[in-house]
Structure 1
Amino acid sequence: MSDATVAEFMTSPVLTVTGDEIALDVAAAMDDQAINSVVVVDEACQAEGILTSTDYVRLTADGVDPTETTVADHMTRDIVTASPDTTLSAVAARMRANDISHVPVVDDEDRVTGILSATDLTSYLANG
């Protein structure tokens, strides 16, 4: 993957939400923007978690009413992040090691600036 960096292929801006938002509202926003994940942030725009379409499948399978639950109740809290200058090969290795398909991108102050997905990596490789 040469020296290509996250900054070159990440999606920015990224849809961010707060943990207190209703799950159904966030699902509608994801559907509207045709995306599979949102980064959950605090008031300083620092990543607190990530909510993916897989989390929604789990929520539904568990019989949870998405109008009665928040994003914080179902997000993944232990997240892997990357900086914009991280190489794509390093991020791909982290994604594989952690069995994840989305990595929030954060700046030097840990504020969310973008997201890199497995789809972004696939696009890079296909156009390589």
Structure 2
Amino acid sequence: MSTVNEIASRKEIVTITADSGKTAYEVADLMRRNRVGSIIVIDKKRQPMGIITERDMVKRVCLKNVASSRIKVEEIMSTPLITIMSYDSIETASRVMTKNKIKRLIILEADNRIAGVLSASDITKHLAEILLDDHNQYRSLRFAVDLS
């Protein structure tokens, strides 16, 4: 079975430092410019410590009816950061996502460097490819049997 690192989308990893003073407005603009649905929050040592997702923006900014220019990164990021190792299986990732009710996992290398972000959509696409391959194999076998 494939590892999470093999199926994660290859979008650029966007990070922001926790105490950078950045606001929700700046985070939203960063997401828009980079065409990503999440930003990883790191500490001064570049270690991952939280994540800001589109859902976080809706719940912690839009629904509070406060100017996005007045809300800091630290107020909207989700912690603790749920991570998975790059060599872990897709099955493990699915279980972690389900258990924690999240749609994204941060993929870490053995040295704790960020390797990527795995989304529920990445898993869905991978499983759809497997099903399509199985279906095509079945059709080929059925066609071969029908010819004999």
The aligned runs of 1:55-74 (5 Å cut-off) are 55-58=56-59, 59-74=61-76
Bigger CA drift: 31-40 or 117-126? 31-40
- Mark the runs of 5 or more structure 1 residues left unpaired by the alignment: none
Separation (CA, whole Å) in 2 of partners of 1:105 and 1:49: 13
Query: What CA deviation, in whole Å up to 9, does each residue of 1:37-56 have, x standing for no partner?
Result: 11111122211101000111
* Greater relative CO, 1 or 2 (CA 8 Å, sep 6+): 1
Task: Report the counterpart of residue 16 of structure 2 in structure 1.
Answer: 17
Structure 2 length normalisation: TM-score?
A: 0.79
Q: Percent identity?
A: 27
Bigger CA drift: 38-47 or 77-86? 38-47
The aligned runs of 1:46-61 (5 Å cut-off) are 46-58=47-59, 59-61=61-63
Structure 1 length normalisation: TM-score?
A: 0.90
Separation (CA, whole Å) in 2 of partners of 1:108 and 1:60: 37
Query: What CA deviation, in whole Å up to 9, does each residue of 1:10-58 have, x standing for no partner?
Result: 2344111112322111111212232211111112221110100011111
Aligned length: 126
Separation (CA, whole Å) in 2 of partners of 1:127 and 1:71: 37
- Mark the runs of 5 or more structure 2 residues left unpaired by the alignment: 131-148
Amino acid of the residue matched to residue 120 of structure 1? D
Task: Report the counterpart of residue 94 of structure 1 in structure 2.
Answer: 96
Runs of 4+ residues over 2 Å off in structure 1: none
Query: What CA deviation, in whole Å up to 9, does each residue of 1:55-112 have, x standing for no partner?
Result: 1111210112211121111101112101110101100111011100010111222222
